[in-house]
Amino acid sequence: MSQTVRQMIIDILLEGPATAKELSARVSIPEREVLPHLAHIRKSLQHGQQRLVMDPAYCRTCGFVFRKRERLSKPGRCPSCHHSFLEEPVFRIRARGDSGRSYMG
């Protein structure tokens, strides 16, 4: 039996952290289609023993970190220095009791 796209994404994130671009390449779907799957995975895991965690995007120019950003997509430009040289958010799945740093749960 073959896995669904969401099951494949969950398996990849259980192996380790990944960006939307990396997930897109691994499951062979466009990057823009990964984000709705991540949103659904976040909701699905909300009541279980695991959670989707996002390490926020940050500006490579000035170091600004998008800590308060709830959207899963990469921001367009930095509100501090207005450059668009940004590092993508990184996603992972953690056990609910895991006290690792996260900005989304």
Q: Please say if the pLDDT value at position 1 is more than 80.
A: no
In a domain, 103, yes or no: no
* pLDDT per residue as tens digits for the range 79-94: 999 999 999 999 999 9
**From CA 66, how far away is CA 74, in angstroms rounded?**
10
Compute the 3-state secondary structure of the chain and give helix, strand, coil in percent, each to the nearest 5. Answer: 30, 15, 50
User: For residue 50, is it within any domain?
Assistant: yes
pLDDT tens for residues 54-70? 999 999 999 999 999 98
Closest CA to 86 of 94, 95, 78: 78
CB-CB contact of 40 with 6 (8 Å): yes
Measured CA to CA, the distance from residue 104 to residue 51 in angstroms comes to 9
Which residue range(s) make up the domain with 21?
A: 5-95
Q: What's the CA gap between 99 and 90, in Å, rounded?
A: 17
State residue 2's pLDDT score. Answer: 84
Number of domains in the chain: 1
Residue 12 belongs to a domain? yes
Is 21 a residue whose pLDDT tops 70?
yes
* CA angle 91–75–16, rounded 5-degree value: 10
CATH of the domain at 67: 1.10.10
* Neighbour count for residue 104 (Cβ, 10 Å): 16
Residue 102 in any domain: the answer is no
pTM: 0.85
Whether the predicted pLDDT of 98 surpasses 70: no
Tell me the percentage of the chain whose pLDDT exceeds 70: 91
